Amino acid sequence: MKFIFFLLSPLLLFATSDFITPMEYASQLYKNPRGIGCQKCHGNNGEGMLIAKYVHKNRKKSFVAPRINNVPFKKFYKIVNSRTKGMPRYFLTKQEVAALYFYLHPNDKKKMKNVK
Ligand code: HEC
């Protein structure tokens, strides 16, 4: 009996991973997008964050990751997959970027449908 359970357990794992909701998937991707998690700089909900303060040429400066939960999808997609000052470059598929966008705009279902 134990043996049968052992044989079936990988199937059980698969079965449960199939049942994560799109939002759970999106939230995991936001925190682990094959690279440093977006929340480390942009905050848990993309609200933006102060990363560091420093002095440059006797002037106080701050390095800030901007708010990203109000960026339109086209711009969002372009920036995530390009080289941007201060931000690491990611290599995410359109579906993955769409999932991140969905995570940051949970009420924006209409726009999600236009994403392919
Ligand atoms: C190391 C910190 C860091 C991480 C990690 C990071 N970003 Fe950024 N991001 C920045 C900084 C800094 C800017 C501002 C760049 C600039 O002003 O040119 C930025 C800009 C952006 C912008 C443009 C915002 C605007 O209005 O111009 C988007 C969209 C964005 N990030 C999305 C993401 C997503 C999605 C992830 C995760 C896949 C992510 N970022 C991870 C630091 C980070």
Q: Distance (Å, rounded) from C-alpha 72 to C-alpha 61?
A: 28
Cβ pair 48, 67 in contact under 8 A: yes
Ligand 1 near 84 CB (within 6 A): yes
For residue 78, the model assigns a pLDDT of: 92
Contacts of 51 (CB under 8 A, 6+ apart): 41, 63, 64, 65
Of all atoms in ligand 1, which is nearest to the CA of residue 84?
A: 18
Domain boundaries, the chain: 20-113
Ligand 1 near 87 CB (within 6 A): yes
pLDDT along the chain (116 residues), means of 10: 58 61 94 95 96 95 95 93 89 94 84 54
For residue 17, the model assigns a pLDDT of: 56
Token code pair at residue 71: 């960026």
Q: Distance (Å, rounded) from C-alpha 91 to C-alpha 80?
A: 8
Contacts of 95 (CB under 8 A, 6+ apart): 115
Cβ pair 97, 24 in contact under 8 A: no
Q: Distance (Å, rounded) from C-alpha 38 to C-alpha 49?
A: 11
Cβ pair 10, 18 in contact under 8 A: no
For residue 4, the model assigns a pLDDT of: 58
